[in-house]
Chains A and B, each alone.
Chain A
Amino acid sequence: MDRYEIRLGAVGGQGIITAGALLVDIAVEKEGRHALESPTYTATVRGGPTKVDVIISDKKIIFPQASKIDFFLCTYQKPYDLYKDRVRDDAIVVVDSNLVPDLGDTKNWKLYKIPLIHEIKKELGNIVFTSVVTLSMTQKLTNIIDYDNMVNFVKNWAPKGTKEMNLKAIELGRKLV
């Protein structure tokens, strides 16, 4: 595979940059591929619009930012408006149906509207798990990394005492899509 581009958009503090970092770590450390994560954020990190571009490829990655996005996931209106411009016409797009009410032109996207943050609060009790839920949704919809590799990596990565909750987060991500 030449180059697969993923963009995750949110507001600072939601854990999206962690999700991007996990994707890259799994692709490189578990699968021996080339991967790069390029985060962008504003000076006010918490609450400001933020995004992370993840590029995964079997070849060395040349341009380090996304320019033709294959998969876009966004949990808030402002980053959605700011960062949807480079999404391909036939991309897979996931939005939080409560927090991104105004979609505008949805082109030929394969679109998933999910009450993501609401579900995470309800099912897991804490939005700190948004990163792993997002990771799991991305894995399921793109198959860009292997499911077992993801689960094994998350088990080792999870901070002490959070392994079970993170595995639940993986399950929730799969259930939502």
Chain B
Amino acid sequence: MSERKVLQGNIIVAKAAISAGCNFFAGYPITPSSEVAQYLSKEFPQMGRDFIQMEDEISALGACIGASLSGKKVLTATSGPGFSLMQEHLGFAVMAEIPLVIVNVMRGGPSTGIPTKPSQADMMQTRWGTHGDHPIIVLYPAFSDEIFSETIRAFNLSEKFWNPVILLLDEVIAKAHEDIEIPEKKDINIYKEKVNVIKDLNIYDRNIGENPPRVDFFKGYPIHIDGLEHDSHGWPTSDPVIADKMQNLRMQKIYHYQDEIIKFNEYHMEDAEIMVFAFGVSARAALNAVKEARDEGIKVGLFQPLTIWPFPKKALQERFKKIKKILTVEMNMGQIKYEIERVSPDDVKKKTLLRANGIPFTPKEIVNSIREFTK
């Protein structure tokens, strides 16, 4: 029997990580994500898994990278200020193709901002926070059951594609205690690939669009792991032909599989003339608003992306063939709205509801905005 209980969003992340087989956590506590670390600091040692509190977020991600290289499934959890410190190592993990999961519970920013209030202002930082062209997968659940399933999915995608995956939450859903039906073990799909012993020095050698194999970097032949551009052996190179191939290998391992990676929910979209685009706590307000507006006879639906990056461009462009109005709701000064503008044709009218003062939009505010948009 699956069990129904009341759990805090952060604890759901920690429990899902345990279910996913995560066996290493390194972190530095920060509001509003601290309960992830707090919970695992108690559970992991009793389970024979590793928990370490580091001196800061830079070393936290460094420790995660080291553990992942030796075949561990690793997790760290932080918030904006800590996530900023992690950017250098995040880039290294992308470059060296190291699987890991980073939870970022967004709070008001920039800098130390408003620690105890929610925000959705790291949307672009998760995409472009670390320098250079790089592939990234970013997931953002809204409901308690989604927090569980998307945490599992974050580990699965990270393992499959040898890439960091960022799980975004906002302070509201991370801190709320909500009822949740924890799925039974047999109903949880865990991506498992044998951790291979390195017998071939060409560990980065594969064709464009192919998944990399999972290896334990510390077993078998000694190999070179580098943040510099490297050849199939991992040795530094500035050869333009190799650099070109490696850039494409890294990008295409994600973009080739984007139909598998991109997930979203749609509500009341069948005959919608207005689409609301919202995620996290804003999606939950928007869903209430859509239902209220429907009661007034307004044909409106909600598109809630669970995968933020890669962006659900194809799905949206399909919807734009019929729906000519889109309202983007986000708790920031305007970030995803630019992505919407990029993917939508000129004949689609765009409206935004933006705020970054720590107060989530209420359903009423969104209903008002939908009403105005019908005019």
CB within 8 Å of B: which residues of A? Answer: 21, 24-25, 28-29, 32-43, 60-65, 67, 86
Contact = CB atoms under 8 A, between A and B. Distances in A.
25 contacts: A28-B4, A28-B5, A29-B5, A29-B6, A33-B179, A34-B179, A35-B6, A35-B178, A36-B176, A37-B6, A38-B172, A38-B176, A38-B177, A39-B176, A42-B116, A43-B116, A62-B291, A63-B284, A63-B285, A63-B362, A64-B172, A65-B172, A65-B281, A65-B362, A67-B363
A35 B173 CA distance: 14
Instruction: Count chain A CB atoms within 10 A of each CB in B115, B116, B363 and give the residue with the most.
Output: B116
Given A25-B6, A34-B179, A65-B360, 4 more contacts: A24-B6, A35-B178, A63-B362, A67-B362
Interface of B: 4-6, 31, 115-117, 143, 172-173, 175-179, 281, 284-285, 287-288, 291, 360, 362-364
B149 to A, nearest CB: 15
Contacts of B177: 21, 24, 36-38
A135 to B, nearest CB: 15
Contacts of B4: 28, 32
Instruction: Count chain A CB atoms within 10 A of each CB in B4, B179, B284, B362 and give the residue with the most.
Output: B179
Contacts of A60: 143
Contacts of B364: 67
Contacts of B176: 36-39, 64
A62 B117 CA distance: 20
Instruction: Count chain B CB atoms within 10 A of each CB in A34, A43, A64, A86 and give the residue with the most.
Output: A64
Nearest to A37: B177
A62 B6 contact: no
Given A34-B179, A43-B115, A67-B363, A62 B287 contact: yes
A156 to B, nearest CB: 15
Contacts of B116: 40-43
B6 A28 contact: yes
B284 A62 contact: yes
A32 B6 CA distance: 11
Given A25-B6, A28-B6, A29-B5, A64 B288 contact: no
A64 to B, nearest CB: 5
Contacts of B285: 63
Contacts of A37: 6, 176-178
B284 A64 contact: yes
Contacts of A29: 5-6
A62 B288 contact: yes
A17 to B, nearest CB: 10
Contacts of B281: 64-65
A163 to B, nearest CB: 22
